[in-house]
Structure 1
Amino acid sequence: MSDQKFRLRAFLWHEFKEGKTAAEAHRSLPPVFGENALSKSQCRRWFHRFRSGEESLEDDERSGRPEIIDNDALRQAVELDPCLTTRSLSEQFNCSHMTILRHLHALGKSVRCGKWVPHELSEANKKKRVEVANDLLRRSKNRGFFHSILTSDEKWIQYDCSERKHQWLSPGETPKPTPKPDIHGKKVMICVWWNTRGLVYFELLDHGQTVTAQRDKGQLDRVDLALKQQGVDTSTTLLIHDNARPHTAKITQKKTLELGWEVLQHPPYSPDLAPSDYHLFRSMQHHLAEKKFKSDEEVKIWVTNYFESQPAEFFKKGIETLRMRWQMVVDNDGEYLLD
């Protein structure tokens, strides 16, 4: 039996054991196997075999004593390397693919893809994340620490935010298609500064513009003015931003010193420790679902309304969550926080 044929049948067997119907399994095949997907009738035949108690994936019936493997050894193998294939495991344990699948299912194992992470962290990256997290945890014990934090970041907002949605369907019914947004469609960049009390300042860049060191320098002056208009003592400002070049450029560093702000340490490749990434932008993206804009002015109105609709607790929680996230980085030896 070919590898492709086996993978198709193993996929059906897994779907069957998960309680799916033949129709549901058939709809799940194309995204995984593309043009090599089985027909509906083939899926139904295999499900009929499984329901009758036949678990072999071979075309012909085979007789003989059941294959027995050590479940503890199998568990240890897959926990040491979760990416092992059933083919390599069957060779390692000298048994069939079906036996491996059956035992893995009995052990409560199922196949799922890992989450994408921003970067493959080196040991040095992880060590730096732990060092910075420990340092900031110590500082966070100081009174007023989180109240002094100002954080900033940038985000692209597409004019067309259409998304594919799950649909409730009857057996055999085909889901309605969703037009794919133009990846080269119009978009605008938003730059945001906020603290535990709420929005401080935001601006939309003109089309074709991105953040540069010179532009960042000018924005910092406008943010400082906005803070003072809100009655904030800017001399205690603790700025959190990522390590993008505009933020680490000499003229930007000179400007923050001139304003009397302190830039808090932020480890490289760490969006999971940036409040805008793990909190604000995640919420914004959720609210942007299915939105369509015709102009920058419409985007600006939507953004303004979004910020005005958020309670003060939303911003406070987003920044004060840093303490828990720093602790999690320390506890996980610098690994990414997967949430």
Structure 2
Amino acid sequence: MEIDLESEMKLSRRELRVLLLHEFRLGRKATEATSNICGTMGKDVLSIRTAQHWFHRFKNGNFELDDLPHNGRPLEVDMDLLKQLIEQDPRLTSRCLAERLGCSHITVETHLNELGKTWKYGVWIPHELSPIQLQQRVDACMELITSHRNYQWLHNLIAGDEKWMLYINYTYHRQWLSAGQTGVISNA
């Protein structure tokens, strides 16, 4: 039975920092430590830049391996409340949602992306033509074709299908939508 070491060895940040401290105490350089750790634990487990950062901290006498508490807004949000807000009004911007949830708009966007939501514009919704409207279009096309045969531009005339778009000055609003879902245009 073959064991895939890369999938078995998921290191926490603290464990990775312990390995870096060990390499530092052995007197190795950051690039060499990165090569050793990545060779043992997995190709992309550590970047040289991260190793350099921690080696710099160790050289300055800072051997604290745990993350310090951060100031600022929380990274976690109430997912149920976020879903509820999006269902009530999918046109709310990430900044408006962040204000209501008490976090940053980047955090809101991250969580919305995790939910499979993307920021899209609404789409035009075609309407079926009535039989009278269909006949009026056919009559107009026939009149153009038969009455102006000597004009060359009429040879390039293209007739459409049985759909029509009602011209109302709609306002386009972006909306948070799931994959495959289409938005709707609303009157302003």
**What is the TM-score normalised by the length of structure 1?**
0.22
**What is the TM-score normalised by the length of structure 2?**
0.37
Larger radius of gyration: 2
